[in-house]
Structure 1
Amino acid sequence: MDFKIREGRGQAPGRKALVREREEYFRLMDQGVSSMEACRVVGINRRTGKRWRNGRQATGSTRSAPPIRRPLSSVGPSRYLREADRIHIADRLREKASIRQIASELGRSPSTISREIRRNGMPLRGDSSRWAYRPHAAQSRADARRPRPKPGKIGQNQELRDFIRHHLERRWSPEQICQALRTRFPDRPEMHVTHETVYQALYVQGRGELRRELARALRTGRTMRRPHRQSYRRQPRMAKDMVMISDRPAEAADRAVPGHWEGDLIIGKAHKSAIGTLVERSSRFVTLVHLPEGRRPSQMRDALIQTVSTLPAQLRRSLTWDQGSEMHLHKDFSTATDMPVFFCDPGSPWQRGSNENTNGLLRQYFPKGTDLARYTRPELDAVAAELNSRPRKTLGWETPAGRLAKLLATAS
């Protein structure tokens, strides 16, 4: 996406000022890019892209505007079937070609071709048992079906709306309601909706199919949807001097050599306290980091240095952590302990699988909602000792302490 946003666009020189942006927006949409991402690339507001696609209804002194009717390009990939594709489908159907043959020739999924024939074909006059596919009529049907917004299924069906409203008031989840609809009305597809349809009827502004007050009956209690963060908006927490897990030595991945650790935090009540957890990858040996004053980067650095310094040199080969801001001073830690720190990819907890499993075991001792600052260093050591003396299936029923001692003896 090498589109360059035009500078000095604040004073638009007329109605054709955004012709170039509009062409690029629709080109991106035809390639399957989301509307939000396409708007970001061409430098327009999301509402502008929506108005181009769906048109605008008249409100007060604002006149209505139809959707922009643009001819689809005949070259390059497209997410929609073009008229030339529909002509090809009609010709091959007359030649008795199979759906899979047609799909392969057009570079489409077989389900796309079968759905196109089913939706845009028509029965022959005088013989409804015979089905005809006429490409130009199919194109007209597809063009007429494309404009948005469309009336929602819930808004058109009073019985469906009442059923959903009644069960929302009983604090059923949208997914439970949709399953109940399919069980109660198995032969009435007009009464079947997905849970996403129910959420949109509650949250999407302008639909008005369900009262916004009903959203408070949901378990989250939210009256607005909370969007997921977009990947392009995510800011790295430690962009400076961060070494990723892909650069970690191979000996750490195969767990053959002791001394490679995984680390993380378990968080206490109201996110105000924490305990650091370190797990040795080869033996699953656990060491807990005492953080009585908090988990700011300087406190995390000092506590980790104090804990790791008690380990023998052969057990200080590497530490793998997630991209939590508490490790902002990781370079200071590495300098003091001669132990490099590697960081996992965002949203990839399986890259520290042993540590995640151990954190689950530790929740038996430190339940969620507990003030973790009240635990003393001896209490943490007692919990770690109990875990390290517990047989583990993944170690062939050896204990972590026993496996670590065996590995150290072999290495020496």
Structure 2
Amino acid sequence: MPPLEPLSTRVISPRFLSEAERITIADLASQGLGPTAIAELMGRSPSTISRELRRNLHPSGQYRPFHAHAAAASRRRRVRTTKLEADTELHAFVSDKLQQKWSPQQISRALRLAHPHDPGRRISTESIYLALYRPGVGLMTAPSPLRTGRDQRRAHCRQVRSRRRFAQPMISIHERGFDPTDRGEPGHWEGDLIVGPHHRSAIGTLVERQTRYVKLLHLASQDSLTLCASLAAALGPLPAGLRNSLTWDQGTEMARHLELTRDTGIRVYFCDAASPWQRGSNENTNGLLRQYFPKSTDLSQHSAGDLARVEAELNQRPRRILEDRTPAELFKALLASQNHPPPLR
């Protein structure tokens, strides 16, 4: 007769009960202790012990540790078919929207709006993320399912004392006259540059705070003269009610901001140094744009037409913050309220 194998003490994960722990549970339960008392002695949650005694009973109605351990291991090995794997139509819809750079949250909310009374035609945000991580589902291949390419949000850094960056006096964001969370009045914009490798190429980005409407600026260079001329061309034709202010960081590309104000009437405010969250809408948009223009990309290779296509795609995405409406439809309504024709793009 072959010798008995030694008792398995390998712990797969602290989340899972080991075989030795199940033997302890059986011993304590046989002494008449309940789940709460067993949990206290073992340093486990009472719900864990209660669930173990309920789910892994032997057919005889008794708790047998070796049978319980085998049953739990069998459930872990079982391959579960996800809703996306089982439903080809749902899989195709989710995959198509991901290719259009929709976020899992936007996809989930769109399905909920389209099928309010049919849970079978919906899928949660978390399920889409799990499918992106899971090999074999075939949703999409990407370095990271997150559109930012990062797993965690970056922490805000400490405020750095502002220094004078250029000759023309700056107007501080603290003189803007409204709270950063106040989006009640339209026509307030946030702007920035996204830059290519070695700062040799750049694209200008503008976001209207109320509607999150995006404008992209094709720049031949990053100097202040080029940027301010491009900003004037983008903002100047708008009605006065939609060019109330522009908030920028303290980059030297805005050295001619007073000339921009003179040409367009839009007042330029500057954030505190190293405080990108003071332009929250613009920072979020720049993160979305990195889907189209990765940091290693030479941005000069993208034509004005390329930027127009990306701009249109972003503005036609539904946003949860806008109650699932799109920036394009809200900005069009703003223009109509100002008796102004809609933008060509």
Query: TM-score w.r.t. structure 1 length?
Result: 0.42
Query: TM-score w.r.t. structure 2 length?
Result: 0.50
